[in-house]
Amino acid sequence: MKQFRKNYRVLKELVRLRFQNLMMFKIGFFGPFFVDGSLFAVQLLVFQAVYSNVERIGSWGKGEMIIYIGTYSLLNAVNMVICFFGICGISGKIKNGEMDLYLTKPVSPLFRISLERINPGSIPLVIMSVCIIFYGIHTADMQPGGKKVLCYLFWLLIMQVFYYDMEVLIRSIAFYTISTAKMEQLEEACLDLCMKLPGIAFYGIYKFIFYCILPYGIMATLPVQSLIGEMSLGLGIYGILAVCIFTGVTAFLWKNGIRHYNSASS
C-alpha cells in the first residue's frame, strides 16, 4: 500500500512535469493534437478503402467491423496517451547507458520510463475511437446489456496490458543484443496488419502465428467478440492465459535484462 501511494505521487509529478515540459513550446504542445489527428484521419481513410467493398468477414458484418476498427484505435490511442513514447525510448536508454540513472533511483525503472512521456495529444483519438465504437454498435443494430459491456471493458483492460507487455518485451531484447530495430519493424508490420484485419480473418498457419507466436491478432478481436457475444469459453481462457504468459515472459526478460545490463562506458 505504501509503495502504491508512493508510485501514485511519483506518477502525479511525472504527469505534471510532462505537461510543463510540453508547454515550454507552444508548437510542442499543440502540434501533437494536429499530427495525431491527421494520422487518425489517414487510418480511417485506409479502413474506408479496405472495407467499403467488403460486406462480410467470416460472421462479421459492417457494424462488427466498425466496432473492431474503433476498438483497435482505442487500444492504440490509450497506449499512445499513456506509455508509447516512454517505452519507445527503452532501447536507446539501454544502448547509450542512460539506464544508469533510472537504476539508481528508488522507484521502478520501468514504471518511470513508461510513464514519463505521456502524450496528451492523443486524447482526442481516444474520444474519436469511442465515437467509432458507438457508431459500429448503432450500425450493427446491437443493444448490448450491462454484462456484455462489462465483459468488453474487462477485455479492453487486459488487452491494453497485453499491448504494453508486447512493447516492453520487444524493447527488453536490447539488454541482450546490440539493436532491436528489426524487431521494432516486425512489431510495426504486425500491428499494421492486425489493425486492418480482425483475428477471425486468419486461418491455418496465419492464425497460429497471429494468435500464438505474435499474438497481435487477438488484441482487438477478443474484446469485440466478447461484446457481440461470439466468444467461446475456450477462447476466453486462451486469451487470459496468453496475457498471463506474455506478462510473465516480459517480467522475466526485463528483470533478467536489468541484471545483465552492461552499462555503456562513461
Partner 1 sequence: MNVIETENLTKTYKRYKKREGIIGSIQGLWKREYEEKNAVNSVNLKIEEGEFIGLIGPNGAGKTTLIKMLTGIIAPTSGRIEVLGYYPNDLKNEFKEKYAVVMGQKSQLFFELTANDTLRLFKEIYGIPEAEYQERKQYFIELFGVEKLMNMQVRTLSLGERMKMELIAALLHNPQILFLDEPTIGLDAIASRQIRGFLKQVNQEKGTTIILTSHYMEDIKTLCGRCVVINHGSKIYDGRTEALFEKYQNSKKITAIFEQPVDGSRFLTDGLMLEDTPHKKVISVPKEKTYQVLQAIMEENPSDISVEEEEIGTVVERIYKGRSET
The nearer residue to partner 1, 140 or 253, going by C-beta atoms, is 253
Name the minimum Å distance from CB 66 to partner 1.
Answer: 41
Region for 56 from its dihedrals, namely left if φ exceeds 0, alpha if ψ lies in -120 to 50, beta otherwise: beta
What H or E segment, with its residue span, contains residue 87? helix 84-88
* Size of residue set near partner 1 by CB under 8 A: 28
Q: Whose Cβ is closer to partner 1: residue 52's or residue 266's?
A: 266
Indicate whether 263 belongs to the interface with partner 1 (CB under 8 A). Answer: yes
Q: Is 184 in the site for partner 1 (CB under 8 A)?
A: no
Q: CA–CA separation, 64 vs 56, rounded Å?
A: 9
Do the Cβ atoms of 256 and 181 come closer than 8 Å? no
Which CB, 26 or 260, lies closer to partner 1? 260
| Contact in structure between 40 and 128 (CB atoms under 8 Å) | yes
Q: Applying CB under 8 A, does 182 fall inside the site for partner 1?
A: no
Touching partner 1, residues 33-92 (CB under 8 A): none
Check binding of 17 to partner 1 (CB under 8 A): yes
x/- mask, partner 1, residues 85-124, rule CB under 8 A, reads ------------xx-xx-xxxxx-----------------
Q: Does 9 bind partner 1 (CB under 8 A)?
A: yes
Any contact of residue 178 with partner 1 (CB under 8 A)? no
> Which residues contact residue 252 at a Cβ distance below 8 angstroms, ignoring those fewer than 6 apart?
none
Cell numbers found for residue 214: 505474435
Q: Of 76 and 119, which CB lies nearer to partner 1 in the complex structure? A: 119
Between helix 181-196 and helix 26-51 the angle, nearest 10°, is 50
The phi, psi pair for 106, rounded to 5°, reads -80, 55
Stretch that binds partner 1, among 3-11, 39-47, 66-74, 130-138 (CB under 8 A): 3-11
CA nearest 64: which of 189, 219, 223?
A: 223
Q: Is 14 in the site for partner 1 (CB under 8 A)?
A: yes
Position 259 contacts partner 1 (CB under 8 A): yes
**Nine-digit cell at 173?**
531484447
**Cα distances (Å, whole numbers) of residue 106 to 14, 112, 262:** 15, 10, 20
By the 8 A CB rule, do 7 and 111 touch? yes
Q: Minimum distance between the CB of residue 203 and partner 1, rounded to whole angstroms?
A: 36
Residues near partner 1 (CB under 8 A): 6, 9-10, 12-14, 16-17, 20-21, 24, 97-98, 100-101, 103-107, 258-263, 265-266
